[in-house]
Amino acid sequence: MSPLADEYEVFLTNGAERDLESIHDYLAETVGSIYADSLLELIESLAKLPERGSHPKELAALGIREYRQLLHKPYRIIYRAMSSKVVVYLIADERRDMQPLLLRRLLTM
């Protein structure tokens, strides 16, 4: 199935793919597959409405506004919408110190 004209293609970096696998497995084991699958659905929903997320405060404070985030408590999904694609860079627990993690993931791309 090809994407509709008004849909974006959603890609995950290798790091985000690893994040998603481990978080999905953890959620499925601890709170159930319905909540775990809702994380997948949220990421897939970026194909239709990628601009709806807020700007991560750590990046906005540095004047960087091309990245956005969605929340799936307690996880943050950090992504960037570009032309006809969305790239997910990071999925992490919001209770972590995000600054070093963001710098590592976003600046080493």
Residue 81 sits in a domain whose CATH number is 3.30.2310.20
Sheet holding 85-93, edge to edge: 9-12, 85-93, 75-82, 68-72
Task: Please indicate, yes or no, if residue 59 is contained in any of the structural domains.
Answer: yes
> Exposed, middle or buried by CB within 10 Å (0-12, 13-18, 19+), for 28?
middle
Task: Please indicate, yes or no, if residue 69 is contained in any of the structural domains.
Answer: yes
Q: Is 44 helix (H, G, I), strand (E, B) or coil?
A: helix
Task: Please indicate, yes or no, if residue 3 is contained in any of the structural domains.
Answer: no
Task: Please indicate, yes or no, if residue 2 is contained in any of the structural domains.
Answer: no
The model's pTM: 0.88
pLDDT tens column, 10-29: 999 999 999 999 999 999 99
The dihedral of CA 86, 89, 91, 96: what is its sign? negative
Q: Which domain holds residue 75?
A: 9-107
What pLDDT is recorded for position 100?
81
Task: Please indicate, yes or no, if residue 79 is contained in any of the structural domains.
Answer: yes
- Amino acid sitting at position 21: E
Closest listed residue to residue 40, CA positions, set 2, 77, 66, 65: 77
Residue 1 above 50 pLDDT? Answer: no
Task: Please indicate, yes or no, if residue 1 is contained in any of the structural domains.
Answer: no
Domains of the chain: total:
1
**What is the β-pairing status of strands 9-12 and 68-72?**
unpaired
